[in-house]
């Protein structure tokens, strides 16, 4: 399945169905065999008659679809194919700056929770991080969120995340921007 087909099936078709004035009745049929399901999924595409949608909504969806495909094509790097390590490192850091500790209005990178980001052979990204304390309420969920977000960066082959407690985090590890945001300067 191409990137365009995947986008259409996951984003466009559900959006078009949600704009339909009445739900389609569920067809009653015998359960298909696995091969039939794959063939049906590959060829299933609603006709305009099956999905009545306002013309402006269709054009917005088409524009979004084209834009997403162009962005994906521009960023696409096959997994495992080496690319400039510094560029990949910078993209990973940018993604880490979108993750926030829910108790502090500063991203985890500026907060100083990320000790190391290293791009290794095969574009394996090693992230060493800590939390503000071992009793942090997000101790179980934050590392999982970090790993998941790093995996979304184009070109990342795998993620090796290590949660460490030494050295223990302190407010001295925060960047100047974080301290300014928290009125600590």
Question: Please, are residues 87 and 166 in contact by the beta-carbon 8 Å criterion?
Answer: no
Question: Please, are residues 168 and 182 in contact by the beta-carbon 8 Å criterion?
Answer: no
Q: What pLDDT does residue 102 have?
A: 84
Query: 3: phi > 0 → left, psi -120 to 50 → alpha, else beta; which?
Result: alpha
Any domain includes 118 = yes
> Are 70 and 40 contained in the same domain?
yes
Q: What pLDDT does residue 103 have?
A: 83
Instruction: Dig out the tokens for 32 from the structure.
Output: 């298909």
Name the helix (H) or strand (E) containing 116: strand 114-120
Beta bridge partners of 161: 127
Q: Is 82 helix (H, G, I), strand (E, B) or coil?
A: coil
The sheet that has 124-129: what strands, in order across it?
114-120, 124-129, 158-163
Any domain includes 80 = no
Q: What pLDDT does residue 149 have?
A: 97
> Are 37 and 56 contained in the same domain?
yes
Burial 43-73 (b: 16+ CB within 10 A, else e): eeeeeeeeeebeeeeeeebeeebeebeeeee
Tally of domains within the chain: 2
Q: What pLDDT does residue 173 have?
A: 95
What is the domain range of residue 101?
A: 85-181
pLDDT in tens, the chain (185 residues): 554 455 455 554 655 555 545 544 554 545 444 444 444 444 454 444 444 443 444 445 455 554 554 544 445 444 444 458 899 999 999 999 999 988 888 999 999 999 999 999 999 999 999 999 989 888 899 999 999 999 999 999 999 999 999 999 999 999 999 999 898 87
Query: 122: phi > 0 → left, psi -120 to 50 → alpha, else beta; which?
Result: left
> Are 45 and 106 contained in the same domain?
no
Q: What pLDDT does residue 57 have?
A: 42
End position of a domain, from candidates 52, 75, 98: 75
User: DSSP character for 79?
Assistant: T
Q: What pLDDT does residue 16 have?
A: 53
CATH number for the domain spanning 119: value is 3.30.300.130
């Amino acid at each position: 399945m191409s990137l365009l087909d995947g986008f259409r099936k996951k984003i466009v078709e559900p959006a078009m169905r949600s704009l339909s004035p009445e739900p389609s009745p569920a067809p009653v049929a015998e359960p298909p065999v696995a091969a039939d399901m794959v063939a049906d999924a590959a060829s299933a595409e609603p006709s305009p008659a099956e999905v009545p949608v306002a013309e402006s909504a269709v054009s917005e969806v088409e524009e979004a679809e084209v834009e997403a495909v162009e962005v994906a094509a521009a960023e696409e790097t096959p997994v495992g194919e080496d690319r400039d390590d510094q560029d990949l490192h910078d993209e990973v850091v940018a993604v880490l700056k979108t993750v926030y500790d829910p108790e502090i209005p500063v991203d985890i990178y500026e907060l100083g929770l990320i000790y190391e980001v290293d791009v290794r052979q095969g574009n394996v990204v090693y992230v060493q991080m800590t939390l503000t304390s071992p009793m942090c309420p997000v101790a179980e969920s934050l590392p999982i969120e970090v790993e998941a977000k790093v995996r979304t960066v184009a070109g990342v082959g795998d993620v090796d995340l290590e949660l460490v407690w030494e050295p223990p985090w302190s407010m001295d590890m925060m960047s100047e921007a974080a301290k300014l945001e928290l009125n600590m300067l």
